Structure 1
């Protein structure tokens, strides 16, 4: 068991404890071996499950206190199959990204030193070709608002130390600080400078460094700060960068932002996880370089739950936490009602259940009825009614009015479709280019020449054909037919 150390910043760090993996490429690398061991599905579920404190006798205490107790339900977390996917995506991205960044690898150390010198001398070029073979990748989590994307990612990251302190490794002196993960919010104005400053502030907050003051006080340009951000990421052993609310990126700055994320992966070896609503889907469709970096299990599409076993399981899991006097058993009518009112959006399910209990206690009814739940839903979800109505309708046009609730249909792999679309587009362009080149190189006479008789009467090209026969110039014919004005008038005037 590793020891916990309190840093000057007040943050808790873990002293590195190394373990061997049955995977050869994960060994002889302190950044990987200091991470928590890999676990199976059952262990993942145990680690992620979070149930509120509950005692049967609490249902009999005064209503004043029970109104406060039911707020515990907002801490409820029931793992579903998609949470296991998120767990695996995050852990895989971190470990795989570290493979090429072994601090004891001579080639990697040489590359880091050369890059550092170039950054100091301001000769580093973001888009330069490099001889560093990265193992970093990007993962994408796209889901409807209210499904708990950020909550799920944070739940997984809680089981990965954010700061690891290294002192000795395999009998050698190795004094390093490792930061396996860091979360940033996508800047609303798509500003790369805002991204850099947010990054420096977060690192300073964690490690009590002075990056923000150092680079802001020097009034460095964005071009100068971007490689420094990558260098700092290398220095602190950053494993994965989580970019939340990616849909906030605006059209004008999307390409620049995405170009830099590709640089972070390619040049600095940092894996990236993007989190966003369906409104962000087009960003990845338009960025082939990001899409192609996503592995087969690296994209997760999280739609609202269907009215099936998963929804019923989620509702049953939370239903047992009742603080009303008369416990209400879950039946098919209540299940149908909850789905109708929430459309399988997990956050709304919890809200409806909490507020239904609140009204039942406050009104003195002390039980959950269909009428009471409908009343609560009508009051609590008034602002969301247009969006929920759109989801209920299943009408693509109505749903498209609200980008955050678009349901992304998955065939085999959405990102695979993106890649295929991008590749198909490239292939089509190649075919078009080939056609043009073929036509240019075609031998004259093999293709039937178009004659004047082939043109329609109102086709302007027929005038040019007639001009040859009549002996008039093309300009004169255009003038005679009224297609252009006589400029003589304007010269004389």
Structure 2
């Protein structure tokens, strides 16, 4: 059996805190001199905006989850159970009956709204954990890829998923598992045995992206079942990444729910993290006139992006592109509005600035506190409450809403 301590020593130490944040960040080099160059050079440089990565709490959590899952998987490869499992998998690859010995529920999910940066966070974490290194053990000689990322087939084909895993192994190790599987015309059951053997020998952590494809496919549950069998027969950890639309699918049965425990994320809140992100992105200006980010711009960006990171980046990129092409040469609210209207039309149904804005709710809360404070000061007139606030108060306190309205605004009753 391989000495897993050699593999574990080859991995970089686990990071945390400020050091982790610095290592995860990706800030392309930028100097203000580029604003003096011709429009073509500035438009080309503007694409660097898409490379900017500012770590968040989500980034740190995903890094920790992936690192620990990979360690658990590597530790299993040096056990006696792993030797027994290799013998069982060899039977399965030849069409004989075999069983899972390693077992374990080493699967988890990373589920979040589209565009919030899940894939980027996973990519940054994997590059920090493993980079392009291959872990090697001399006695017996074994090579292990710390992490492999595969995409769930659009039709949730079990065979397609298994072949994709073999292809990714071949891509990393220059092996011939994929070609051999195609040539042998193996059945799905035999293929699961072959993939389990290859995963046990050569994979630390498997990341399956776009797992929401299982929702609208008749083969969805079969694919999750195949991944479960792969966990039991190989002992590797599997991370499934998708959007919230897959949640009802996993919640529909106990055996699916067990396999979907993990991390869940929504859009960013209007908080310090969002402000830090926008301030960092705002430094990358390629228009001639340098502008400073203001509270009004911050609020506008949040309301017109819904807290979705990719939308914020697209707005700042397209606003500068429009400013350069039209000769306006400034990044301000006017160019941002043009970018939203001209370039983000398909997103308007998903981002409604006038409804449910978090920034607007905060303002309402502040106004309510101000009115409460004013009521405590004798001799000062209390501002009239909005109809919505009065209706909420009547419902909450069991008051007569008409009488409450009459106290604040003139009401004339008409007989019908």
Q: Normalization by structure 2: what TM-score?
A: 0.80
Deviation at 1:392, TM superposition (A): 5.7
Q: Please list the CA deviations of residues 184-220 of structure 1 after superposition, one character each: whole Å capped at 9, or x if unmatched.
A: 1111111111112212222222222222221111211
Q: Which has the higher contact order (CA 8 A, sep 6+)?
A: 2
Tell whether 2:248 aligns with 1:282.
Answer: yes
Mapping 1:116-155, distance limit 5 Å: 116-125=89-98, 128=99, 130-132=100-102, 134=104, 137-155=106-124
Q: 1:49 aligns with which of 25, 49, 55?
A: 25
Q: Please list the CA deviations of residues 300-333 of structure 1 after superposition, one character each: whole Å capped at 9, or x if unmatched.
A: 2121112222211211121111122221111111
Q: 1:200 aligns with which of 135, 141, 166?
A: 166
Task: Give me the whole-angstrom Cα distance separating, in 2, the residues matched to 1:203 and 1:385.
Answer: 41
Distance 1:63 1:28, change over 3 A: closer
Corresponding residue of 2:343 = 380
Mapping 1:105-120, distance limit 5 Å: 105-109=79-83, 111-120=84-93
Assess if the C-alpha contact under 8 Å between 1:162 and 1:181 holds in 2: no
Task: Give me the whole-angstrom Cα distance separating, in 2, the residues matched to 1:175 and 1:367.
Answer: 60
Q: How many equivalent residue pairs?
A: 353
Deviation at 1:251, TM superposition (A): 4.0
Tell whether 2:352 aligns with 1:393.
Answer: no
Deviation at 1:107, TM superposition (A): 4.2
Q: Which runs of 5+ in 1 are unaligned?
A: 1-26, 396-493
Structure 1 residue matching 2:136: 3-state secondary structure: strand
Assess if the C-alpha contact under 8 Å between 1:143 and 1:278 holds in 2: yes
Task: Give me the whole-angstrom Cα distance separating, in 1, the residues matched to 2:137 and 2:77.
Answer: 18
Task: Give me the whole-angstrom Cα distance separating, in 2, the residues matched to 1:187 and 1:139.
Answer: 19
Task: Give me the whole-angstrom Cα distance separating, in 1, the residues matched to 2:118 and 2:170.
Answer: 26
Corresponding residue of 1:421 = none
Structure 2 residue matching 1:387: 3-state secondary structure: coil
Assess if the C-alpha contact under 8 Å between 2:85 and 2:233 holds in 1: no
Structure 2 residue matching 1:388: 3-state secondary structure: coil
Q: Which 4+ runs in 1 deviate beyond 4 A?
A: none
Q: Please list the CA deviations of residues 197-251 of structure 1 after superposition, one character each: whole Å capped at 9, or x if unmatched.
A: 2122222222222222211112111121111111111121x11111100111134
Tell whether 2:243 aligns with 1:243.
Answer: no
Tell whether 2:131 aligns with 1:166.
Answer: no
Distance 1:358 1:145, change over 3 A: same
Deviation at 1:289, TM superposition (A): 2.9
Q: Please list the CA deviations of residues 409-429 of structure 1 after superposition, one character each: whole Å capped at 9, or x if unmatched.
A: xxxxxxxxxxxxxxxxxxxxx
Distance 1:161 1:178, change over 3 A: farther
Deviation at 1:283, TM superposition (A): 2.4
Q: 2:295 aligns with which of 326, 332, 347?
A: 332
Cα RMSD for the two superposed structures: 2.1
Q: Please list the CA deviations of residues 312-358 of structure 1 after superposition, one character each: whole Å capped at 9, or x if unmatched.
A: 12111211111222211111111111112111110010111111111
Deviation at 1:280, TM superposition (A): 1.1
Deviation at 1:133, TM superposition (A): 5.1
Task: Give me the whole-angstrom Cα distance separating, in 2, the residues matched to 1:93 and 1:311.
Answer: 29
Structure 2 residue matching 1:329: 3-state secondary structure: coil
Q: 2:36 aligns with which of 36, 53, 60?
A: 60
Corresponding residue of 2:182 = 216
Tell whether 2:214 aligns with 1:234.
Answer: no
- Rg (Cα) greater in structure: 1
Tell whether 2:60 aligns with 1:93.
Answer: no
Task: Give me the whole-angstrom Cα distance separating, in 1, the residues matched to 2:30 and 2:133.
Answer: 33
Q: Normalization by structure 1: what TM-score?
A: 0.68
Corresponding residue of 1:361 = 324
Q: Please list the CA deviations of residues 127-162 of structure 1 after superposition, one character each: whole Å capped at 9, or x if unmatched.
A: x4x44354x612211111111211111111112145
Corresponding residue of 2:264 = 301
Deviation at 1:121, TM superposition (A): 4.2
Task: Give me the whole-angstrom Cα distance separating, in 1, the residues matched to 2:170 and 2:102.
Answer: 28
Task: Give me the whole-angstrom Cα distance separating, in 2, the residues matched to 1:133 and 1:202.
Answer: 23
